[in-house]
């Protein structure tokens, strides 16, 4: 499979899991909503030309439907927030951890990108001079 095909396949599988997460978060136990979402995802999978990629997409859509019915499909935003704040557990000093959490929540400035090799988060805090 070409690198472009692999990227498309990965985005398809991720799309299926993310959208199923939204269904699970909407209202657990709503089998008709979950099934309707599965049918929508299945239709999207069927538009994939590569046979192997289509099989994987269909398998992921089915797995997401099962997890949504169980109510065990995590909401992507919750995982993202937890992962962002976990980075700050490195800091043992409560003050430094607090600054880190503020940066992770969007305070301060952000520069760079993943493509550039780094995302730099900066928070300037004015601390009164000690006497």
pLDDT on residue 6: 44
Q: In whole angstroms, what is the distance from residue 96 CA to residue 10 CA?
A: 37
The pTM of the whole model exceeds 0.75: no
Q: What is the dihedral of CA 13, 16, 18, 21, to 10 degrees?
A: -130
Q: In whole angstroms, what is the distance from residue 37 CA to residue 26 CA?
A: 12
10-residue mean pLDDT series, the chain (131 residues): 45 46 48 86 90 90 87 70 85 93 91 88 90 73
Cα dihedral sign for 7, 75, 90, 125? positive
Can you spell out the DSSP letters for 46-65?
HT--SHHHHHHHHHHHHHHH
């Amino acid at each position: 499979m070409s690198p472009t095909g692999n990227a498309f396949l990965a985005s398809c599988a991720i799309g299926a899991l993310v959208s199923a997460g939204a269904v699970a978060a909407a209202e657990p136990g709503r089998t008709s909503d979950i099934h309707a979402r599965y049918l929508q995802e299945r239709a999207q999978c069927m538009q994939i030309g590569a046979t192997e990629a289509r099989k994987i997409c269909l398998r992921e859509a089915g797995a997401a439907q099962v997890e949504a019915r169980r109510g065990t499909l995590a909401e992507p935003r919750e995982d993202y927030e937890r992962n962002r704040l976990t980075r700050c557990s490195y800091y043992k000093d409560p003050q430094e951890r607090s600054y880190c959490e503020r940066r992770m929540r969007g305070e301060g400035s952000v520069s760079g990108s993943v493509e550039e090799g780094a995302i730099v988060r900066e928070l300037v805090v004015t601390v009164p001079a000690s006497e």
